[in-house]
Amino acid sequence: MATFTPPTRSERIAPDPVERKWGGRAGLWRHYIDPIQVGMSVLITAGVATASPGRVSPSTADIAGADAGSGEDGKAWFRGGITYTITAGEDTILSAAGYTTV
């Protein structure tokens, strides 16, 4: 069996308008100057994986429509930054979509 770790991306959080008014010194966002890592979700639906690099936030309908699999909640839904043990069939589908499996 192979493993799959969906990608993450760096994302910078913009300060809200109140903080901009005070030069970014007034609120909690001043603690989030550095980018944070956001997980990219990959789903397999009808035997086809989400296009690389994945999606930030799939809808509940997208998740419910995912094939049965070895991801989250028995579905072929894989959240970014988490390593999953996948089946040979999932390995083939994910590799065909451009993802790296080990």
Is the Cβ–Cβ distance between 50 and 94 less than 8 Å? no
Cβ atoms within 10 Å of 30's Cβ, excluding its own = 13
Tell me the pTM.
Answer: 0.79
- Structure confidence at residue 35 (pLDDT): 76
Separation of alpha carbons 101 and 40, rounded Å: 15
Reported as a pLDDT band with limits 50, 70 and 90, residue 1 is confident
Residues 27-77: pLDDT tens digits?
A: 665 666 677 889 999 999 999 999 999 999 999 999 999 999 999 999 999
Phi-psi region of 87 (alpha: psi -120 to 50; beta: other; left: phi over 0): beta
